[in-house]
Amino acid sequence: MENFGHLLDGFATVISGHHLIIMVVGVMLGILVGVLPGLGAPNGVSLLLPLTFTMDPVSAIVLLSCMYWGALFGGSTTSILFNIPGEPSSVATTFDGYPMARSGQATRALTLAFVSAGIGAIAGVVMITLLSSWVAGFALQFSSPEFFAVYCLAFASFIGMGGNAPAKTLVSMMLGFALATIGMDTISGGLRLTFGVHDLIKGVSFLVAVMGLFGIGELLLTTEEGLRFEGIKTRIRPLDVLRTLAEIPRHAVAIGRSVLIGIWMGITPAGPTAASFMAYGITRRFARNASQFGKGDPSGIVSPESADHSAGTSALLPMLALGVPGSATAAVMMGGLMIWGLTPGPMLFIERPDFVWGLIASMYLGNIVAVLLVLSTVPLYAAILRVPFAIIGPIIVAVIFSGAYQIANSTFDMWLVLIFGVAGYVFKKLEYPIAPLVLAMVLGDKAEDAFRQSMLMSNGSLSIFWSNSLVASIMGLGILMLAWPLIGKVMGLRNHVRRSRQNPSTAS
C-alpha cells in the first residue's frame, strides 16, 4: 500500500503538459530509431543522452525511457511490415508477423503485436511497482562484498545463460571492464592503461562504444546483406483494430505465460531478445496445432511481443533497485543516471523518491502513449523506410558521428566510434555478444570499487565473499549460473539416453 501512495506521488510529478510533450517526443523518436536500420534502442538512447545533460533528471529519464518503449514498438513494426527486425529482440516477431501481414491482415498483425506488447509492458511496470521498494529495502543491507557478488551474479548469468559460446561472452565482457579502467583511476587518481595516448586520459565513454558497436557495426552488416525493403503497404483501419482487440482475450494464456518469461528474463540479465525467442518456442511447444506457426499464427505474434516488452520494462527493476541493469539499453540509461549525478541502487529510493516514482509512473503513461502513437503513425514510419538507403544511410552516419562528438567535444571519439564499428561488425558476424561488453563498461568502475573496498575490509582475503550467508548465497548462485551450460549438458545427455532407451527408433 505504501508503494501505491508513492506511485500516486509519482503520477503527480509526471502528469504535466511539459512531461506529456516529452513523452510524445520520446516515443516518436524511439519509434524512429526502432524503425531505422542501424539505429536501435541502445544507440538511440546514447545519441539522446548528451542532449539531456542540461535537463532536470526527471524530465531526462522520462525522455530516455519513453524513447526505449518507442524503439521496442518501432522494432516490431518493421518486423511485421518489412520482415526486417528493427531490434534484435523483435526477430521472433518476424516468424509469424510478416506472414500474417503478407496475407492481407497487416492491421491485425500490428494490432496484435502492439496491444500484447502494451500488456507485457504494463505487467512489467506493475511488477516493478509491487517489488521495487522491497528489493531496494533488501539491498539496503548490502555492503561492498554483497554488491560485488551481485555484479558477479549478473555477469555469471550472462556467461552461463547467454546462449553464446561462454568464452566469447567472457572475452567480450572483460574487454568492457578493461575499457572502463582506461583513464583516471577513481581511487588513486593515477592514470591507467592510457599507454601515453593523451586522448585516452579522459577515458573511453560507454556511449562511444555503443554508437560504434551497435550503430556503425549494424550499418556495415545491413549494407553487406543488401537492403531490400519490400514492405507491405498498409493503412490502419479502425474497424480492424477493434475486431482484433476483441480477439485478444483468446490469447490470454499465451500472453500470460510469455509475460512471466519476459519478467524473469528481464530481471535477470538475459534480456528481451532471449525472452522473446523463449516465449515463442514455449508457446509453439504448448500449442494444440503447431502447424500454423511460421505461417501467421496469432499466438506466434503475441508471445514474443509480450515477452519482449515485459522483459524490456522489467530490466529497469534491477537497474533502479540494485544498480545492475538488465539490458544494454538499461545499462546506457544507468550510465545517464550517473552522469546526471544520481547513484542507481537502493539509496536512490530514499534520496530521490520523486525521481524513482516519477519514472515508474511515466512507464505506465509512456507505454499507453506509445501504443496509441504507434498505431496512429505506422503509415508515416513505413513511408520513412521507403526512402532509399543512399539518403538514409549517410544521415544515420552523420547523426551518429555528431552524437559522438557531442559527448566530450572530441574528434578522437569519432575515430573511436569507427574502430568500435569495425569491431562490432566482426563481433556480430562471429557471434560475440555485445551487450555484456556495454554492461561491463557501465558497471566497470562500480564493480571495481566494490571489489577494492571488499579487499580493504578483509585485508586482501577473497574469503570475504563467503563471510556471511547473504554474500555466500549470492556468490553460490553466481557459480551455479556459470556452471549452467555444463549442468544443462549433463541433464540433456541423461534425457537423451533415457529417451533412446524408451524409443530407439527416434533417437538420433
Partner 1 sequence: MSEENKRHLSRRAMEIATAIATAAAGGAICYGAIEIGIGWTETGPAPGYFPFYVGLLIIVGSLANLVRAISIRDWNTEIFLDIEHARPILAFALPLVGFMIATLLLGLYVATLLYVSGAMIWQGGYRWWVATLGGVAVAAAFYCIFEVAFQVPLLKGPIEGWLGIY
User: Which residues form the interface with partner 1 (CB under 8 A)?
Assistant: 50-51, 54, 165, 167-168, 170-171, 174-175, 177-178, 181, 185, 187-188, 190-193, 195, 216, 219-220, 223-224, 226, 388, 390-391, 393-395, 397-398, 401-402, 405-406, 409, 411, 414-415, 418, 426-427, 429-430, 432, 448, 451-453, 455-456, 460
- With contact defined as beta carbons under 8 Å apart, do 258 and 302 qualify? yes
Is the CB of 150 or the CB of 279 nearer to partner 1?
A: 150
Closest approach, Cβ 210 to partner 1, in A, equals 18
Closest approach, Cβ 421 to partner 1, in A, equals 8
Single-letter amino acid, residue 144? S
Residue in the block written with cell 521507403: 386
| Residue 488 CB-half CA count within 13 A | 10
- With contact defined as beta carbons under 8 Å apart, do 219 and 397 qualify? yes
Is the CB of 82 or the CB of 401 nearer to partner 1?
A: 401
- Provide the 8-state DSSP code for 217: H
**Torsion, Cα of 115, 116, 118, 122 (10° steps):** 140
Is the CB of 32 or the CB of 275 nearer to partner 1?
A: 32
Give the residue from 170, 61, 46, 50 showing the smallest Cα distance to 442. Answer: 46
- The CA-atom distances, in angstroms, between 427 and each of 207, 325, 338, 365 are 18, 22, 28, 37
Closest approach, Cβ 50 to partner 1, in A, equals 7
d(CA 272, CA 16): 31
Is the CB of 419 or the CB of 507 nearer to partner 1?
A: 419
d(CA 243, CA 224): 41
Give the residue from 301, 293, 253 showing the smallest Cα distance to 116. Answer: 301
Closest approach, Cβ 223 to partner 1, in A, equals 4
Is the CB of 280 or the CB of 381 nearer to partner 1?
A: 381
| Long-range Cβ contacts of 405-414 (<8 Å, 24+ apart) | 406/50, 406/51, 407/50, 407/205, 407/207, 407/208, 408/202, 408/205, 410/199, 410/202, 412/199, 413/205, 413/208
Single-letter amino acid, residue 126? V
Closest approach, Cβ 174 to partner 1, in A, equals 5
Closest approach, Cβ 187 to partner 1, in A, equals 7
Closest approach, Cβ 379 to partner 1, in A, equals 22
Is the CB of 239 or the CB of 391 nearer to partner 1?
A: 391
Residue 278 neighbours by CB under 8 Å, 6+ apart: 261, 265, 307
Residue 89, C-alpha cell as written in the block: 529482440
Single-letter amino acid, residue 216? I
Single-letter amino acid, residue 478? G
Closest approach, Cβ 48 to partner 1, in A, equals 10
Burial of 249 (0-12, 13-18, 19+ CB in 10 A): exposed
Closest approach, Cβ 388 to partner 1, in A, equals 5
Closest approach, Cβ 226 to partner 1, in A, equals 6
